[in-house]
Amino acid sequence: MIVINDEMTPKEFRGLDSDGMSVRDQWKLEPELRKKKYQATIKLPNGRVRYLYLNDPHIAELYVNIIGAKILKIRKL
């Protein structure tokens, strides 16, 4: 008989979703992302959460207004 407690229940993890980009190509993005000054977390109209890497936070505001998304958080890197 196996007893499962709260610590053993599976947790929900969300991996990097690059919309079909192969893992080999994802590593090519890393050096470019390090050059950016801000990371914006946005919620798309369909409920998915995405990250934007940019140098000016005002660009994130313009972008989310165009696509109808919502900024959850902007942090300086």
DSSP string, 6-71: GGGS---------TT--HHHHHHHHHHHHT-SEEEEEE-TTS-EEEEEES-HHHHHHHHHHHT-EE
**Residue 57 domain-assigned (yes or no):** yes
CA–CA distance, 30 with 45 (Å, rounded to integer): 27
Q: Name the phi and psi angles at 31, rounded to 5.
A: -60, -35
pTM confidence score: 0.62
- Under the banding of pLDDT at 50, 70 and 90, the label for residue 51 is confident
**Residue 47 domain-assigned (yes or no):** yes
**Residue 19 domain-assigned (yes or no):** no
Mean pLDDT of 35-44: 90
**Residue 8 domain-assigned (yes or no):** no
- Under the banding of pLDDT at 50, 70 and 90, the label for residue 6 is low
Q: Indicate the number of domains in the chain.
A: 1
**Residue 68 domain-assigned (yes or no):** yes
